[in-house]
Structure 1
Amino acid sequence: MGYCKNLPLPGAKLMQFFASLGLIFSVLNIWRGTEGWSYHYSTKTMDWEDARNWCRQNYTDMVAIQNKEEISHLHNFLPKPNKGYYWIGMRKTDGIWTWVGTNKRLSKKAENWASNEPNNGGNNEDCVEMYIKRGKDDGKWNDMSCSSKNTALCYTASCKNDSCISGQGECVETINDHTCSCFEGFYGERCEHVVKCKPEDITTPDHGSVQCSNGSFSYDSNCEYSCEEGYKIKGSRTTKCTSTKEWSSRPPTCELVQCPELMKPLGGTMLCHDPKGNFSYQSTCDFVCDEGYTLRDSSSSTLFCGITGHWNDSQPNCEIVKCKPEDITTPDHGSVQCSNGSFSYDSNCEYNCEEGYKMKGSRTTRCTSTKEWSSRPPTCELVQCPELMEPLGGTMLCHDPKGTFSYQSTCDFVCDEGYTLRDSSSSTLFCGITGHWNDSQPNCEIIKCKPEDITTPDHGSVQCSHPNGGFSYDSKCKFSCEEGYKVKGSSTTRCTSTKEWSSRPPTCELIQCPALENAADGLLNCTSNFSYGSMCIFSCAEGYHLRGASEISCTETAEWSQETPHCEAHPESLVTEVTLGVAATVGSSGLLLALWILKKLRRNANKFDLNSNSETEDQPQVYKNSISSLI
């Protein structure tokens, strides 16, 4: 590919120099562009920053020198500027020279400085100019102040977006052309090919597995190895396909996890179980100390080999046991005697209590293999008898010289009236040295009377109340008789503290009113033999008037409902005639009808009796009802 010069016309002096047509034709022939990048320069001078902006605005960027061939071409191709030289795309940042556009650092190999340069002679000389047709150090670089005025030197890029496979290579501009600089692991004109490693070099270790990132085994592919539980990797856990077509590491192996070897302790035994191998993963070792020795240096008597290759605790050891002498204390109201003064394994101590005190805890203790006494010191507690309760229906009075319900306490029991002592042969209990009362707890039982002694009288009934339960002390029974009968005897009885009823059951006797006799100058007619409910009707002979009620009845109090009436002399009247006429006609078979007729006639007679008063009027309704009941 040819160069794309496309250079602008130089200044007036240069045009005069090319005055002849032949020379102009030659220059035009040089300017004719061909495919590839092209160089351009400004007609005016400017500082480095303006020069770069001008290049980026009109072309691709400021020229970044690629190689010596390019420098030679530019020296032959470019005219000597009227003032200064040409700016190139290099600048110092934080003391480091870098190429613009790429920000790549200037390497030692690529340096093209003039003699004794860079020297920062004018201070702050952070930009670079290139000598062209200077006559000395042509094509070389000189560091200059970025504010100096030079000609801008630009280029138009040849590389396109698709010149190289994206992500696999970088397009590099060359004179008249470009090339693809392939990234590591890629090759080809456009970096279209990728390096591949041998899949057969990836093998699965025993007791392990391998997982690869993709199935192509191409450059930068990763494979990761893992081991089964209880096995650990020996070698690299990962490997990667490199640009040399080789894997970065060989396949590892999986080795059984191994814990440090354990030793049988002095004064004890060790028993191990190794499902996979001696002192390996999942091995367990149990340690037991001989009698009189105790385990130390470990918090567990069983060690387990874990997945990390460490035991769950340190190696146990056994040492002879000694118990703490300060743990043997003399109880209050007691004493202690020990077999020896060393308080070592199997030493014995015996405790005793004073009379009236009993031991709470073990009487003896022994120094055991756990460095502990077999039991804690006992206490001597005052002998205590079971608590007594004041009985229901009684009282309890106790005397406690040492403590409530304790040794030598006495309790007296007395039952209330209506209650009797039971469950004990004595009313006084004594708390003995064994912690037992001399007899059982007395209780008070309520007295009960015989229910069969309560009988229901003929023509009567009985109703009982039991405040303390059936037929017990203070139960009461009340007797009552049917209508027309009265109680003979006590109507109530009560269960007494003697277990007897206060009275015998009564009887029910028929209520009997006093016998009545015929009144002088009158007539008496009764329904029955003067018993409860009997009704008697009185009438007077002719010429007599009845003083009092004409009808009386026998009440439940065994008394007549009214005072007995009597006949008094009376003037002749219709009432007397009628009364006598009716009385003469009344027979025993027509008594009821006669009673009704007499009643009507009496009402009519009262209308004509000038001397009649309230005493002769009908008596209260109760007597009318008595007559109605007879009818």
Structure 2
Amino acid sequence: MAYLVFLFLTVYGLALISCVQGWTYNYSPYNMTYDDAYKYCTEKYTSMVAIQNLIENEHLNNILPRNEAYYWIGIRKNKSTGKWTWVGTNKVLTKEAENWAKGEPNNLSNNKDEDCVEMYVKRPNDTGKWNDDPCSKKKVALCYTASCHSSSCNNHGECIENINNHTCNCYDGFYGEECEHVVTCPEINGTDHGSMTCSHVNGNFTYLSNCHFNCSDGYVLVGSENLSCTKDGDWGAHVPHCKEIQCKRPEVPLNGVIRCSNDSEILTDKSMCNFSCNDGFSLVGSTSVICMTPGQWTEEPPKCNAIQCKRPEEPENGVMDCSDNKEMLPYKSSCNFKCKEGFNLVGSPSTKCMSPYQWTEEPPRCEAIQCQHPEIPRNGTMQCSSNEEILHYNSSCIFTCNEGYTLVGSLKTKCIAPDHWTNEPPKCEVVQCSSLLAPTNGQVECQNGSKYNSKCTFSCAEGFKMVGSSDLQCQISGNWTSSVPTCQAVQCAPLVAPDNGEIKCQESSSYKSQCLFTCQQGFKLIGSSDLSCLSSGKWTSAAPKCEALKCEALTVPLMGKMNCTHLSGEFEYGSVCTFDCGYDLSLNGSSTIECDSSGRWSTEPPTCEVVKRPIISPTYITVGAVSASASLMSVAGLLLWLAKRFRKTAKKFTPSNSYQHLEAAGVYQNTNDSNGIA
């Protein structure tokens, strides 16, 4: 029942409020959390209610129906600043606008922070007052619709919301209910002998109109060059006017000269006068003046004063000589300065009085001559006459170099002026030997180039031997330990042609030389036919030999003789053998054969054959104590027996005794009977 009453009041209230023009209030038909209330108000209306004063607070308490949960209004605690802030405008709640119930805000919630604000409406106690409550609770959302909009007050004033209406707080220079009117100023018609330029923001000669004034040449503006229309409807100053510029001719300075742009006594705008002084006098003031304002020059005329200078002070440890002994020296007086021995003049040696109390140069100083220690040469040492950090005049230093380095420059230097020595510090340059070149047919490798203690190693190409030292070292004298070696070609021992042979060699017996061996006809080469000289100085092999070709060994033919002659060796090339057969034997073949160049006999060796004879009468053949009847053996059997017997003794016979041996054997043939043997 209570909900129906609330709904009726809500509908009635909405209908009632919606009829009012201006700032209107609205509220939701049901309870919701603070976040939902904010969303509801911003989507349907302007935002949640922002209460500006107590009158507005009382008005809301009067027109709103009672709700047990009360109403959410647009105030929430900012978590980052901890201050209560209007959510619609993001402005901090001021003390004047606070309407808290007694003891509030107190943040009594144990579970959540009471960061949102509700308004007690129709409450018996503290009615219309505020209370902080957790934002998660559900209450009626109290919203408003703004009366002010972008075109309110014609953009010339601040729109202020009121209950069911708004008012305009007009900016300076505007007035009216909606600030629709602008303040005007008296119209300006310009100025004589000049020009005026105006700009108008809100209309001709109205608030913020601005006018700028200029005068023609020869005239000066009297008054402000800029006027602006104020909010009070005036220009803030009188309108300026243009006045002709004129100046009276300046007086000529004593001991000086004046030259103006014309000779008139009265000079017009921008006329110029220049001043100068006679020789010996100095101009005090500006050298030129210009007529710029009525009757006034830019500067006062200058004066010409006699030029004098106060006598300079004599420098300590020095001497000063001036052209006059007075304390005040006249124009063009001069003074010269010198320093004592051991001191250096710092500044100009002379000065001259050319302007009042001003010398052309400041007096110099005499400073003791000192020198910084010279730089110690790298790889060297330095010995100075003093161990002090700063050396004085005439101090000297002597330089030496470390072993293996030579001094380039002066051995000694002397301090003769501030930080100026008679000689520059020398340098210690490493001892250098002459550069070495690789010998012909050789090469060289050096460590650290050709400086002191450097080593160079020489080597020869294959087939060449070194003559001299292979290792050279650069000595402190700048010379190498010995001269550069040479590479001479390797020589092999000369070769000699073998017996019965020939040799042909290329050039000499040096490295890679080749020798070709050949043998004469009938001889063969034993060994290599081609020898080369190696880098070791030896031939690839021993020299070959020529050996005679050998024929097959011969034996004395059966029942014959053989006589041989040999040129080289037994049965070798050139050997000649002759053959002969004994009594009643016939030679079958050539009687003379020769071992030819191919190692063969010219023909086959001959044989001895028995001559066939008839047998005269039966006889007995007696051989020693053996006898037999011719009827018991045949000629063939006898010959076979004799051959076997002869083979056993052939080597014991010589060609010279062959016939004697056969005769002793009593061998003969019966010509009458080929088979008869007696």
- Where on the TM-score scale, by shorter chain, does this alignment land: which range? 0.3 to 0.5
The TM-score, its normalising length taken from structure 2, stands at: 0.36
User: Per residue, is there more helix in 1 or in 2?
Assistant: 1
User: Per residue, is there more strand in 1 or in 2?
Assistant: 2
The TM-score, its normalising length taken from structure 1, stands at: 0.38
Structure with bigger gyration radius: 2
